[in-house]
């Protein structure tokens, strides 16, 4: 592989010299997280008579580390996307903007960077962002679940109201003398609901909350008033 000269090993800026990394398509985004290509061999740079290159094992030690194959440079993912890009406040700007590739000093530089206040601040911001995404997903799932429950409850009530309306229209008594589970005749209302369940897949599968089945005498009286 083509070796790069040592005078370039400290890092290089973008094509326009701005040092920005936003347009690089082989670096991670907020959504994807760090890009960590694990290769058997990386492009090498010459340091004197020696050839040095990025090492994939470094990803195991620094989860914030990412690597750009197109620029043969390493970056701090959290500082790049969540850090405050102030050169005076962050002496390790190479890792967050231009890219770092002095592989001879890589480990020491990564450790120094990891201990810096600027890095710790960006790491916290990244963690908070991930937490927000996770909590957002949970809330969305809860909202979807709530909508489904409301829809099912309405379908259940439609059937109860229909039976109530029929009994009221025909002047048929609702309740039986004994409405316990063991009773052979639980009254017209409950018996019709049981009959409907025999043919209605929805009622067969619906699990009404134990505290709101709407089948109690009190609920029946309320339905009669509404109908």
Query: According to the model, what pLDDT value does residue 152 have?
Result: 83
Cβ pair 93, 18 in contact under 8 A = no
Range of the domain at 221: 147-226
Q: Which helix (H) or strand (E) holds 149?
A: helix 117-170
Structure tokens at 77: 């993912």
Examine the domain organization and report whether 154 and 90 are in the same domain: no
**Cβ contacts of 118 within 8 Å, gap of 6 or more:** 79, 83, 84, 89, 90, 92
Task: Judge whether 121 lies within some domain.
Answer: no
Last residue of a domain, one of 99, 116, 133: 116
Query: According to the model, what pLDDT value does residue 112 have?
Result: 93
Task: Judge whether 129 lies within some domain.
Answer: no
Q: What's the domain count of the chain?
A: 2
Place of tokens 């530089």: 109
Task: Judge whether 136 lies within some domain.
Answer: no
For 47, what's the count of Cα atoms within 13 Å in the CB-facing half-sphere? 11
Alpha carbons 208 and 187: distance in angstroms, whole number = 20
Task: Judge whether 48 lies within some domain.
Answer: yes
Examine the domain organization and report whether 98 and 154 are in the same domain: no
Examine the domain organization and report whether 101 and 172 are in the same domain: no
Blockwise average pLDDT, block size 10, the chain, 227 residues: 37 37 72 93 87 95 95 94 65 79 93 91 87 66 72 85 83 66 72 87 74 52 49
Structure tokens at 116: 């810096």
Examine the domain organization and report whether 87 and 163 are in the same domain: no
Examine the domain organization and report whether 19 and 108 are in the same domain: yes
Examine the domain organization and report whether 56 and 108 are in the same domain: yes
């Amino acid at each position: 592989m083509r070796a790069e000269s040592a005078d370039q090993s400290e890092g290089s800026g973008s094509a326009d010299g701005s040092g920005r990394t936003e347009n690089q398509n082989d670096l991670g985004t907020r959504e994807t997280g760090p890009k960590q290509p694990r290769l058997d061999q990386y492009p090498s740079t010459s340091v004197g008579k020696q050839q040095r290159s990025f090492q994939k094992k470094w990803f195991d030690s620094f989860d914030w580390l990412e690597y750009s194959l197109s620029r043969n440079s390493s970056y701090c993912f959290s500082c790049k996307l969540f850090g405050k890009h102030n050169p005076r406040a962050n002496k390790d700007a190479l890792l967050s903007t231009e890219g770092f590739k002095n592989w001879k000093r890589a480990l020491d530089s990564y450790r120094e960077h990891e201990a810096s206040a600027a890095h710790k601040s960006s790491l916290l911001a990244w963690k908070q962002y991930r937490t927000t995404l996770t909590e957002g997903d949970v809330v969305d799932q809860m909202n979807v679940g709530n909508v489904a429950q409301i829809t099912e409850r309405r379908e259940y009530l439609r059937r109860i109201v229909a039976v109530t309306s029929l009994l009221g229209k025909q002047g048929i008594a609702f309740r039986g003398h004994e409405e316990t589970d063991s009773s052979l005749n639980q009254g017209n209302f409950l018996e019709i609901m049981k009959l409907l369940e025999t043919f209605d897949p929805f009622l067969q599968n619906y699990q009404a909350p134990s505290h709101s089945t709407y089948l109690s005498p009190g609920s029946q009286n309320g339905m009669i008033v509404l109908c």
